[in-house]
Chain A
Amino acid sequence: MSPTPLPPPPPPPVRANVAAKLSVFGTPWPLPPELLRVRLKYITVRFLQMPEPRALLRNGQDILRWAQQMEDDNLPRSANELVRLAVEEDPNQRVLWLYLLSQAVIDGDAREFGELARLFSQQFADDELLHDIAHVGGVLARDVSQARMMPALQSWNAAALLARDSRTQRTFHDALLREISAQVSPQVSGVA
């Protein structure tokens, strides 16, 4: 009697296909070299002072800081674009996903939020925030202004994620305005 054959070994764990992972926002990855060259040149020019875009795009904190600065310059669309490029480069940058989710709420775009939430849940299947995200999404679909006030959201925006010192900046700004008012002739009422 021949011995019972051993059960086949379990298949090795499937590694996520890097190419598929990176194509979160529709860029077919990997790009052929000539197309990649145009993409990188575009990023370098669009976002000044980014000599090594691929390396920098993988640094979530730097990208977040940059995005926040662009928001400060009243360039929210560019900030959003930069963060998306960074997520495409490395989708494991969780803080950047949270930033995009918070922006979708600020824009009142429930459809965009839903799509981001779906992609986030694929990328971070066991994330502790999935429940909160679903909750915010539900509220956003019903009432945008209520969604914008939700406490969960306050910890997802760039300022919170970067732990910026808003109080000191505000103090500086107020002192600057007072100094300008004091130095400028009384007829001048507007600043900036």
Chain B
Amino acid sequence: MINTPTNTPTLLNESEQREFTQKHLSLEVSAANFIAGDAIDSLGQALRYFEDRTRADRQHLIATNTLKTRGDLIASEWIYARYQHLLAMAFAAMSRSFGGAPAGRASPAQGAALVLVVAAQLVKWRKYSGGRADNVAREYAHTALRQAKLHRVDGAVLTTRIDERVHEATVEALYLRAMLLERFSGGSLSPRRFEILDTWLITWMGALWLTREPSATEPMLALNLADIERGLIPYVPISPPMPIGESEFFSSLRPIKRQLERVIQAFHQGSIFPGWGIGLTMKIEEHIAVIEFLERELQLIDEFRSAASGVAQGQAKSRGKRVTLSINTIVAVYFGFNEISTLAFDLSRANSVAGGGAELGIRNAIRLLDISEGGLGLEMVDEDARRLQVNDLIAIRIEKGRPAVLGFVARKSTLQRPTGTLVGIKVLTKTPLKLTMDRVNESNRWQPCEGLFVAGLAQDGFADSVVMSEAEYVANSLVAVTLQGRVHEFYARRVREQGNGWRMVAIDAVDRLAQN
């Protein structure tokens, strides 16, 4: 459980922030005149001082998750900017150190380690402050590893401080931790969950390494140190094989899978992995969300590889289909099971982008910000977004004349513009089907009710579901529906997804005539 302090930590006030910024600017000037190794050492101390002074604030900002005040947002952006500055200074010192400058108190490898530690922090705080994706951390990290490899110090084990703990790690492992964080930063993990993931990655560093040769039989991530546009990407075997470039490296996913099994095993044995860090103060639900996130990511990478290799071409074709839509357009949005079943399927509204939300009090237009196969992002005015809760059922008509996409609110996060909120939607289906069903009620009588049908991907039909009103759902109740002029019966089984006022339940078709 979150260890909510009795007194909210005082965020560094504006003058303290200015003082810190000024100190860093002064350090930048003086470090340029230091011997490179001494500059690395001084910057390491400056990082430690900065993190010690801001630890309570950073923990507070992480604990508040996505619902930040304006002050929290400004503080997050300031911390992000400080890490950016520290990274630039560390990078300059490391470059001088590798360039043959006298060593001083710290070695060039320690310089690379410092760059990679700060780069990882930068990735995290870019995410927490709502910053847009850029190449900064990746470019510095790529260069740090390239330099370390050039000078053959990438495999040396170093004692490195990461926030408040000291760890033994190689430059290569620190690089992989930073790049894995970068890869996963695009996902839906909240700051709390992202911190848990980071403690795992730090603990797993001993099992992270790069290889020069890819494997055709196991899922791998690939990277090109000369390409700052990309970090770790799924490796797709090419036939016939192409020669491996000097800057290309590979990392197997197997060690990560094994380490994830260790996390799960620890929970089976009643321990919270890794037994230290901010995760110890968080609910088990947060840890499990990270387990499920990683499982999903690893599975996606695996599926991508299989699909691209032609193993599952048919499946990949349908899953990889991109939707060609104009982003940043106004869309019609309906909220809650009742409004969706009444309005979203009303043919007279099929060509309108005027949405619903009257009952909730939604007043302003809603824009589509981004869309992918499994989710989409909506931009809402803060005041409207506050009326929405995570797990609320939602239907969005993205294009006129097309069916509304059915999904639910997966997360809300502040956008960098002052009054906007990004609402992340997990898509349940792009082609929901609304039908009136009959279910056997508690008095053993047939009673009509509405159902939104979701056809699953599995061809055997066992992944099919129906979204029902919470009030109508009774576990294992018998339901009848007419499809193509024929009555089909099924049992409403396990709840697959749920939220306020709705349940999405597994369909278990039954042929009672045959049974009798």
Contacting pair B288 A45 (CB below 8 A): yes
Q: Mark A149-192, 1 if CB is under 8 A from B, else 0.
A: 00000000000000011111111111111111011110110111
Contacting pair B433 A183 (CB below 8 A): yes
Q: Which partner residue on chain A sits nearest B494 by CB separation?
A: A69
Contacting pair A177 B455 (CB below 8 A): yes
Which chain A positions have C-beta within 8 A of B267? Answer: 38-39, 42, 46
Which chain B positions have C-beta within 8 A of A37? Answer: 270
Which chain B positions have C-beta within 8 A of A49? Answer: 494-495
Q: Assess whether B461 is interfacial by the CB under 8 Å rule.
A: yes
Q: Mark B263-307, 1 if CB is under 8 A from A, else 0.
A: 011011111100000000000110010010001000100000000
Contacting pair B288 A46 (CB below 8 A): yes
User: Which applies to chain A's interface (DSSP): helix, strand, loop or mixed?
Assistant: helix
> By CB atoms of chain B within 10 A, which of A34, A39, A187 has the most?
A39
Cα A191 to Cα B459 with chains together (Å):
12
Contact check: which of B299, B401, B429, B510 meets A185 at CB < 8 Å?
A: B401
Given contacts A180-B433, A190-B431, contact A38 B272 (CB under 8 A): yes
Q: Mark B444-464, 1 if CB is under 8 A from A, else 0.
A: 000000000111111111111
Contacting pair A168 B510 (CB below 8 A): yes
Contact check: which of B454, B490, B508, B514 meets A192 at CB < 8 Å?
A: B454
Contacting pair A176 B433 (CB below 8 A): yes
Q: Mark A52-92, 1 if CB is under 8 A from B, else 0.
A: 00000000000000101100111101100100010010000
Minimal beta-carbon separation of A38 from chain B (angstroms): 4
Q: Assess whether A129 is interfacial by the CB under 8 Å rule.
A: no
B residues 452-484 touching A (CB-CB < 8 Å): 453-464, 483-484
Q: Which partner residue on chain A sits nearest B435 by CB separation?
A: A179
Q: Assess whether B348 is interfacial by the CB under 8 Å rule.
A: no
Q: Which partner residue on chain B sits nearest A44 by CB separation?
A: B284
User: Which applies to chain B's interface (DSSP): helix, strand, loop or mixed?
Assistant: mixed
Number of residues of chain A lying within 8 A (CB) of chain B: 56
Given contacts A72-B506, A175-B486, contact A170 B402 (CB under 8 A): no
Q: Assess whether B493 is interfacial by the CB under 8 Å rule.
A: yes
Contacting pair B509 A42 (CB below 8 A): no
Which chain B positions have C-beta within 8 A of A72? Answer: 456, 458, 462-463, 506
Contact check: which of A26, A36, A173 meets B464 at CB < 8 Å?
A: A173
Q: Assess whether A51 is interfacial by the CB under 8 Å rule.
A: no
What 3 A-B pairs have minimum CB-CB distances, sorted nearest first? Answer: A35-B270, A173-B461, A172-B509
- Extra contacts, 9 of them, besides A72-B458, A88-B268 (Cβ < 8 A), are A27-B269, A35-B271, A38-B271, A38-B272, A66-B494, A74-B299, A172-B461, A175-B483, A183-B433
